[in-house]
A = this chain, B = another copy of it.
């Protein structure tokens, strides 16, 4: 089997070329990649091993196990990473004076082991470099996310049928999970860092939306066990409250993030107003978020609208509020850029970002919408097209 099939070689070249530019910018000789998500990014598949890219040469793929790939071109089998330097030398690739390693993705033990293999090198944070590279998607990657968005919307169109009167938030979530899986969801949503543990997304109803959670999600929720205090708490879905459904659209190596709100019977005017405000923010940002605009300005603009509408105390949480309204999405659910006031990133074409201006209304629940967008020269293009009004259960 070819590690990288012929039809995919051009795609990988585009990614390698972008990564190389980041190495040149950083004045770094080479990067050695090992994190699962970056192995996938640089080869189009997950395999156990490494990718080594010298700034002035061709990438080399080191496969640890299983050795089922053709030993063609720059594919080498190794039992352990300690064997990498001798292969580099045998291939006429000099050892790096400066080397990027994935400081944020790999454990301390793993990095120390790799540093011993290249004892002469000066080290840089390869996680940041990979995140910057992955922040701008290729047309092929955007195509994958469009596919995710279509599947995602198809499942959301079935949510009304998933609901049966008397259901708890968790019971509803379980039926949605099943529909996602039947539609092709892989069941695994990759996230960066340790502060997002959840299975396939979150369903939060009524007052549970106002329960703070230690995790890094926009909304909290108590969960059902002290070991995983987030999301649905298995309480019944009550009349005149909302159910916020924020499941992941992970149908291939990429994913989309989309939130919609359902409600049982009518909900109070304040909640309706807050939901409309969320849509207003999204629709204004869809036009405003052009390449060249600082990402922080999106956050500032959202806050201006929220303050103008007098809804600040409910924005992005109530008892506990978070300081961001969106994030990059791609192979991982939480990629760059982070849409907050401190962001230094500038919007660029083919970034993909989820925007999720949400409100928590006491005694009602969470409202607001979330879409995953492609940044284009004519504004944001929505990859998660599904009606944005509050839906009846």
Contact = CB atoms under 8 A, between A and B. Distances in A.
A158 to B, nearest CB: 14
A15 interface: no
Interface string A47-76: 111000000000000001110100000000
Contacts of A125: 109
Contact of A45 (B107, B177, B229): B229
Given A107-B106, A227-B252, A48 B320 contact: no
A214 B65 contact: yes
Interface stretch (A196-204, A257-265, A306-314, A366-374): A196-204
A213 interface: yes
A87 interface: no
A103 B109 CA distance: 5
Interface of A: 35-36, 40, 44-49, 64-66, 68, 101, 103-112, 125, 127, 171, 174-175, 177-178, 181-182, 184, 186-188, 190, 194-195, 197-200, 212-215, 220, 224-229, 252-253, 320, 331
26 contacts: A35-B194, A36-B194, A36-B197, A45-B226, A66-B212, A68-B212, A101-B108, A103-B108, A104-B109, A107-B108, A109-B125, A109-B127, A174-B178, A174-B181, A174-B182, A175-B178, A177-B181, A187-B198, A188-B198, A188-B228, A199-B200, A225-B252, A226-B253, A227-B253, A227-B331, A228-B253
A107 B109 contact: no
Contacts of A64: 214
Given A48-B195, A106-B108, A186-B199, 17 more contacts: A36-B197, A48-B214, A48-B215, A65-B212, A66-B214, A68-B212, A103-B112, A104-B107, A104-B109, A106-B194, A107-B107, A107-B108, A171-B182, A186-B224, A187-B200, A225-B253, A227-B253
How many copies of this protein are present in the complex?
2
A112 B109 CA distance: 12
Contacts of A101: 108
A102 to B, nearest CB: 8
A105 B103 contact: no
A258 to B, nearest CB: 19
Contacts of A48: 195, 214-215
Contacts of A105: 107
A212 to B, nearest CB: 4
A105 B47 CA distance: 21
A389 B76 CA distance: 43
Contacts of A65: 212, 214, 320
A108 B49 CA distance: 19
A47 to B, nearest CB: 5
Nearest to A212: B66
Given A40-B227, A103-B107, A227-B252, A46 B214 contact: yes
